[in-house]
C-alpha cells in the first residue's frame, strides 16, 4: 500500500473540515445564503491580508490575479521594474510583455534575494518607472525577497506602485499590506489557504486604485473596478467558484482560530526544522541567505540524480514533493511546509529523505536529519 500525500508548494493538502464544507449541496450565488457566506469571506480575507481594502476574489489560478494586477493599474508603454530571480519573476515579465508594458528586469541569481539597493538605483536612473513587480516568496527557488525594504523605497515615490506576488507568502509570513504600504497584493487558493486550486485574490491600496483610474490596458474578465463594485454588494461580476468560496470561509475560520501570529510561528518552525535537518545530512540549501518559510529547496548532492530523488519520494513513500523548474530541473528538490502542515509531517519528509538517499548510495547516518529537526520542533 502507498498512501499519497502532498508535500508540494501548491497544490497543498486540504484539511478534512474544508473538504467536508465543500461537499455540501451546491447553493445558488444569487441566494442570500451565499451573500452571507461571501460577507464573512470578505472580512476574513481582510484579516489575512491585514488590510482595510477590499480583497477581490477571482475564479482563476493565481496567475489570473497577477494579470489583473498588471492590466488594471498600468497603461500601454508604461515602464516598470521586474525582479527576475526565478520562474515566477519571469512570469511578471511575460505578462508585461503580453500587454505592451516595457519592463526593465532586475536579474537576480536563482537562489538569491534581490538587493533593495538595486531597486533604488534603477528607480533613480529612470524616475518614470510606474511600478516595481516582485515576488514575496519565489516558489521556484525557495527565496524570500525583502518586501518591506522594497516597500520603504517605493512608498516615497508618488508615481510608483509596488506590486507583490504573495501567492506563496501570504498566510505564511507576516506581510501586513496596509502597515508596510504594499500597493497590490496577489495570492491564490492552493497555497497557505489550504484549498484546491481555482481562486485568486488581489487587493489594491488607495494609491493603486488611483493608478487604476488612469489605466488604458484592455480588460474584461479581470476588470477589478467592476469586481470591486460587485464585491461590495456581496456578489461577483461573473459566476463565482461557489464550492471553493464555501471552502474558503472554512479556511478563513481556521486562520482566525489559530491566530495569524501562531500561523506565522508554525510555518517558521517547520521551515527552520527542515533546513536544519537538510544541513545535518550534509546537504546544501539553494537559498541559505534568505529562505522562504513556505518551502525548502535542497540541492541534489554530487552524484545523486535530482529527478530520481524526487521520483523516489513518491514511488517509495507516496510523498509528492516538487523538483526544480527550468534551469534548476534535476538539480534541486523542493519540500513544502505551507498550509496544512504540522510538526510530525516534517519528520516524515526528513525520514523519507534519509532513507531514499541511503538507498541511492549517498552516505547518510540514519536519524541525523530527524534529530536536527526534532531539536527545533521540540523547542518552545
Residue that the C-alpha cell 506576488 belongs to: 165
Choices 23-31, 142-150, 163-171, 230-238; region in contact with ligand PLP by CB under 6 A: 163-171
Query: Residue 115 contacts by C-beta under 8 Å, 6 or more apart in sequence?
Result: none
Residue 104 — φ and ψ, nearest 5°? Answer: -105, 120
Return d(Cα 339, Cα 270) in angstroms, integer. 11
292 in contact with ligand PLP (CB under 6 A) = no
Per-residue CA distances from 42 to 196, 203, 235 (Å): 19, 11, 11
Site string for ligand PLP, 178-217 (x = CB under 6 A): ----------x--------x--------------------
- Kindly state the number of chain residues that form the binding site for ligand PLP, as judged by CB under 6 A: 13
C-alpha cell at 230: 460587485
Return d(Cα 196, Cα 177) in angstroms, integer. 24
167 in contact with ligand PLP (CB under 6 A) = yes
Among 11, 13, 44, 62, binds ligand PLP (CB under 6 A): 62
Return d(Cα 253, Cα 194) in angstroms, integer. 12
46 in contact with ligand PLP (CB under 6 A) = no
165 in contact with ligand PLP (CB under 6 A) = yes
For ligand PLP, which is the closer residue by CB, 187 or 274? Answer: 187
Q: How far is the CB of 306 from ligand PLP (least distance, A)?
A: 19
Choices 112-120, 161-169, 215-223, 327-335; region in contact with ligand PLP by CB under 6 A: 161-169
Return d(Cα 84, Cα 42) in angstroms, integer. 32
Q: How far is the CB of 137 from ligand PLP (least distance, A)?
A: 6
The interface with ligand PLP within residues 238-257 (CB under 6 A) comprises: none
Asked if 238 and 220 touch (Cβ cutoff 8 Å), the reply is: no
325 in contact with ligand PLP (CB under 6 A) = no
139 in contact with ligand PLP (CB under 6 A) = yes
| Of 340, 321, 328, 265, nearest in space to 111 by CA | 328
Return d(Cα 241, Cα 246) in angstroms, integer. 9
Which residue ranges make up the site for ligand PLP (CB under 6 A)? 10, 61-63, 88, 91, 135, 139, 165, 167-168, 188, 197
Amino acid at each position: 500500500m502507498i498512501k499519497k500525500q502532498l508535500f508540494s508548494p501548491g497544490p497543498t493538502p486540504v484539511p478534512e473540515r474544508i473538504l467536508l464544507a465543500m461537499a455540501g449541496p451546491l447553493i445558488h450565488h444569487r441566494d442570500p445564503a451565499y451573500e452571507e457566506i461571501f460577507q464573512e469571506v470578505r472580512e476574513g480575507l481582510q484579516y489575512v491580508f491585514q488590510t482595510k481594502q477590499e480583497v477581490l476574489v477571482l475564479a482563476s489560478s493565481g496567475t489570473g490575479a497577477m494579470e489583473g494586477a498588471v492590466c488594471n493599474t498600468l497603461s500601454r508603454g508604461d515602464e516598470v521594474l521586474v525582479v527576475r530571480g526565478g520562474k515566477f519573476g519571469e512570469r511578471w515579465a511575460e505578462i508585461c510583455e503580453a500587454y505592451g508594458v516595457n519592463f526593465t528586469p532586475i536579474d537576480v541569481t536563482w537562489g538569491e534575494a534581490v538587493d533593495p539597493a538595486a531597486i533604488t538605483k534603477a528607480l533613480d536612473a529612470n524616475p518614470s518607472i510606474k511600478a516595481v513587480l516582485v515576488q514575496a516568496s519565489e516558489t521556484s527557488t525557495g527565496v524570500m525577497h525583502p518586501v518591506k525594504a522594497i516597500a520603504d523605497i517605493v512608498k516615497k515615490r508618488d508615481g510608483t506602485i509596488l506590486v507583490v506576488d504573495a501567492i506563496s507568502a501570504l498566510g505564511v509570513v507576516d506581510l501586513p499590506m496596509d502597515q508596510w504600504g504594499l500597493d497590490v497584493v496577489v495570492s491564490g487558493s492552493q497555497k497557505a489557504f489550504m484549498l484546491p486550486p481555482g481562486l485568486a485574490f488581489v487587493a489594491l491600496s488607495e494609491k493603486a486604485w488611483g493608478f487604476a483610474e488612469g489605466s488604458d490596458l484592455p480588460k474584461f474578465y479581470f476588470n477589478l473596478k467592476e469586481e470591486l463594485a460587485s464585491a461590495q454588494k456581496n456578489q461577483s461580476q461573473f459566476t463565482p467558484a461557489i464550492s471553493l468560496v464555501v471552502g474558503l470561509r472554512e479556511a478563513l475560520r481556521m486562520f482566525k482560530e489559530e491566530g495569524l501570529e501562531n500561523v506565522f510561528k508554525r510555518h517558521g518552525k517547520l521551515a527552520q526544522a527542515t533546513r536544519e535537518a537538510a544541513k545535518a545530512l550534509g546537504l546544501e540549501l539553494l537559498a541559505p541567505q534568505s529562505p522562504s518559510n513556505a518551502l525548502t529547496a535542497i540541492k541534489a548532492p554530487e552524484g545523486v540524480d535530482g529527478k530520481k530523488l524526487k521520483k523516489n519520494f513518491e514511488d517509495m513513500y507516496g510523498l509528492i514533493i516538487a523538483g526544480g523548474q527550468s534551469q534548476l530541473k534535476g538539480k534541486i528538490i523542493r519540500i513544502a511546509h505551507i498550509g496544512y502542515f504540522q510538526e510530525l509531517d516534517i519528520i516524515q519528509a526528513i525520514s523519507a529523505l534519509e532513507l531514499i538517499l541511503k538507498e541511492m548510495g549517498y552516505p547518510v547516518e540514519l536519524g541525523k536529519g530527524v534529530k536536527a529537526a526534532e531539536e527545533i520542533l521540540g523547542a518552545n
